[in-house]
Structure 1
Amino acid sequence: MRKRRVLTGYRPTGRLTLGHWFGNLMNMREMQDQYEAYYFVADWHALTSDWQDTSAVRRFTEEMVLDWLAAGIDPDKATIYRQSDVPEVAELTLYLSMVTPMSWLERVPSYKEQREQISDKDLGNVGFFLYPLMQAADITIVKADLVPVGEDQAPHLELTREIVRRFNGTYGELLVEPQAVIPKEGARVPGTDGRKMSKSYGNAIYLSESAEETAAKVRGMVTDPARKLKTDPGNPDICPLHQIHRLVGDPSVVAEFDRCCRVAECGCVAHKARMAEDLNAYLSEFRARRAELAQKRDLAWDVLFAGAERIRPAIDELMGAVREAMHVDAPSSR
């Protein structure tokens, strides 16, 4: 029996952060050994919200693939491809739209939430409205059995399952109804300002930035807001500095900073210096590999091309069956 097939994708909207590392990249490394893994760059999805300025999509695509490779995603184990290199995704999105009521798309929580919360982008376009439908096409076109989902993505996957049931009920059992796989919960990484680490908040530490850039960001980090003076006891449990240090530092060193902070025997400046040192040491192997990979001209594009070629036979087989079932295939007599 073949391994179950798992699919996950990232939008190329910028460099990957420390939050991505602990939130999902380590899970992706594990899943490529456990499943038949498909990892794709969702460049068309990036257009749905960033359509007014698409100038960085190609660069971010290349950088993200290099980040994946440097993090240990192996193109010999996982199929890595770009969404736009599979134009049938758009075709299948169209076919799925024929069986999907508008009300199903309107009820997706993230659609209304993002329309209300994101004020610096025009999200009134049809592409953004169809985002969940294209996700359904992404999943079904490779016959994914499993999709890693967090709490915010669960409604999207349930929508896909409903669409698949309706499509199959109309045209025959052609599409696989995917199941959710709950990945091992990644660590929640705070940003330099204490909020969740996010590129959009401007509080992110990037995996591929220099050691100097990382150290400068750590020096500017907020700590326990109640600790005004070095002589004030602190609470490491609410301090972003401590929370990140616990992920990357030697446990005995972290424990000592935890102890001395609580009794005001050490200050935040010394702790920031040590945390920056430990964080850079933790990322040093990744960064060295990332720099080495970046010297290989067109490596990312070669990986993406090979991935698209690898899935081509399966795509052709599925879409041939879909077109035939919907009676939009070429006449057999031609």
Structure 2
Amino acid sequence: MSPDSTPHVILTGDRTTGPLHLGHYVGSLRSRVELQHAHTQYLLLADSQALTDNAHAPDKVRHNVLEVALDYLAVGIDPNLSTICVQSALPALSELTLLYLNFVSVARLERNPTIKDEIQARGFGRDIPAGFLCYPAAQAADITAFKATLVPIGDDQTPIIEQTNEIVRRLNRQAARPLLAEARALVPRIGRLPGVDGKAKMSKSQGNALPLSASDDEIAAAVKSMYTDPRHLRASDPGQIEGNVVFTYLDAFDPDAEMVADLKAQYQRGGLGDMTLKRRLTEILQAIIAPIRERRARYSGDLGYVWDVLRAGTERGRTVTETTRKVVIEGLGLFRL
């Protein structure tokens, strides 16, 4: 899905649990770089949400605020076009989250497919941190606080937008007027990238991610290990496209779609070896990551500038979110001094 020509307010961001990787890039980062030129865009360094399952490691969360900010700048986020904010420094978000929790049931939170999948992936069972279970309400607070109308996300996150809009409608009914606007998801053509092992989506916690700071050697090693078709033993053998991780990555990153289509046809007929495909993918990924890695190194050498960007962006974000907090408080008829 692509945005229409109407200018939108965009809110997106990332949990600060580690540096970003190619999954983030294909799922959201590269679209953010494009969108910032035509829309008002806010990027949230979600350190408060990172604590929901990392409360035992606050140092890790704090350290990765800077790491994720470096990745943003390295991929081409321009702080003159996009506002980068630190979530924990925006108190209106926490207050809105608490208010919104009164407009959603525990049962509804537990039914959210995104939350159900994440709970299962982390093996929480019934020992779920309350903050983690309440993640959809916190996301609703983030989205509405910035008055966002468009949210770039992977396809696995669309239930969060649906639940955000449910909360918005309940609040608007309670206030008997449109306090908040609904948002829509912007899902890229390839919204989820499998890990280099092909077993799950790319994830830091799964250990199958390729970071945006990867060296050329690391990229080559990751591609070499990628799953293709185990029955494709010789180049002359017909090969299968479905489930072939190398072709999934070529679809996501190769700028020559016609060439990829030709490669698929040749692979299916027989006569194309896995190593030929992997060499092409290696060169493409190296060409994408090398300039990102170089810009990241440059920004890492000027951390004073990075902190200035975060301070200025967070101050702008504080002004916007505080305005929304006041609108919600007044709309619900709560007491204000």
TM-score (norm 1): 0.85
The gaps in structure 1 that reach 5 residues or longer are: none
| 1:201 counterpart residue number | 206
* Distance change in 2, residues 1:290/1:93 (3 Å): same
Q: What whole-Å deviation, never above 9, does each CA across 1:119-161 have from its counterpart, x for those lacking one?
A: 1798522111211111111112222223335543333223222
> Cα deviation per residue 1:34-59 (whole Å; 9 max; x = unaligned)?
32111111111111122233332122
Aligned length: 329
The CA deviation at 1:190 is 3.4
Q: Does structure 2 retain, via aligned residues, the 8 Å contact 1:49–1:123?
A: no
| Alignment gaps of 5+ in structure 2 | 1-5
Aligned equivalent of 1:19: 23
* 137 and 249 in structure 1: CA distance in 2 versus 1, 3 angstrom threshold: closer
Range that drifts further, 11-20 or 182-191: 182-191
Is 2:315 the partner of 1:314? no
Question: Do the aligned partners of 2:83 and 2:313 also contact (CA within 8 Å) in 1?
Answer: yes
Structure 2 residue aligned with 1:213:
218
Kindly indicate whether the alpha-carbon contact (under 8 Å) linking 2:28 and 2:153 is maintained by their aligned counterparts in 1.
no
Q: In structure 2, what residue type is equivalent to 1:116?
A: Q
Aligned-residue offset at 1:169 = 3.3
More moved, 212-221 vs 266-275: 266-275
What is the rounded CA distance, in whole Å, between the counterparts of 2:227 and 2:111 in structure 1? 38
After superposing on structure 2, the runs of 4+ consecutive aligned residues of structure 1 that deviate more than 6 Å are none
Could you report, residue by residue, the CA deviation over 1:3-43 in whole angstroms, capped at 9, with x for unpaired residues? 43121121122222222222211221222123211111111
Where 1:164 maps in the other structure, the secondary structure is helix
* AA in 2 matched with 1:147: V
- How far the C-alpha of 1:89 sits from its partner, in A, is 0.9
Distance 2:169 2:242 in 1: 46
Relative to 1, partners in 2 of residues 1:210 and 1:120: Cα closer, same or farther, differing over 3 Å? farther
The answer to whether the 8 A contact 1:50-1:121 is kept is no
SS in 2 for 1:38: strand
Q: 1:137 aligns with which of 130, 141, 162?
A: 141
Which of 53, 72, 79 matches 2:83? 79
SS of 1:205's partner is: coil
Q: Which residue of 2 aligns with 1:328?
A: 335
Q: Shift in Å at residue 253 of structure 1?
A: 7.2
Give 1 or 2 for the bigger CA radius of gyration: 1
Amino acid at match of 1:27: S
Q: Secondary structure at the match of 2:58?
A: coil
Q: What secondary structure does 2:59 align onto?
A: coil
SS at match of 2:36: helix
Contact 1:145-1:176 at 8 Å conserved across structures: no
1:226 is displaced (CA, Å) by 0.8
Structure 2 length-normalised TM: 0.84
